[in-house]
A and B are shown apart, each in its own frame.
Chain A
């Protein structure tokens, strides 16, 4: 019994620094964030109601949501297709390193690469001119620093698709091929094989990857800070600017803002995990019955 207690103690000592740091920093900064986002007198939620009355906020809110949803869904979809093709075509996986290269670069460099390739004065525009598709620079479509954030979404895709492949490839490699063969011999079509064999196997990782990307895009400044337009700004850019503008009068507004974003990401995360768990138990029941 004594040795058990001692062992337990040593386990906790090993975990404590990491756990304390993470839990304390998260908890403390959240408490302070909420506290500083409240007005000290009168209407405590003054800054929140001010936020909701601002059109700038709503415009950038919708735009951010669209950008985050599109980036996440497309990254997952394309990443999944690449992973499946890769897994089927290449038995050995040393080629995977070339897919992972973009992960070594910061997001803002990815943004700049997109700028060099896709802006109106960029490389693809030059090629389009040479092969006669366009006669002048202005005829090339505006992909970068455009009001629809196409350049931002493409930059995110270039960075996040390799991340999706990184997360999914090991899962595919651990998958038992026998199930797939069985499903095929039973006459299942491609889509059915994917739905019944692959999807139950990969969805926890797919979901986790999706949440990571979504939360990241929702609150990352780097790429929209570089390639964004002046209106509507994405939420992280707006919040960062309010936090930092000369006098500190807009700080509580930025903080109220971040409280809202954090609360939404936490709710969304919990909801997704919860619904995934329900889906899992349903699938399990299906297997048993």
Chain B
């Protein structure tokens, strides 16, 4: 099982959700508001989930979905085989200098 933290910039959240929906993930997967200035400004959204090898291959060879190239070009993908859930999310945020948005 591979845990994934996927982080998209705020302005690409609608596109990222649409790409996810086009791939059958449902309407809104990026729901965790994040901040790159310590918590006061909303700058990113994240999704923590489990992914398959097929998903990881898809990142390298994305399907022909409108907007997918743009979304992937700015998508932060943090994968872990040892961390899971909130512990993985917290580690991914720290390594990318992000915090929870609590504004």
Q: Do A and B bind each other?
A: no
Task: Spell out B's residues near A (CB within 8 Å).
Answer: none
Task: Spell out A's residues near B (CB within 8 Å).
Answer: none
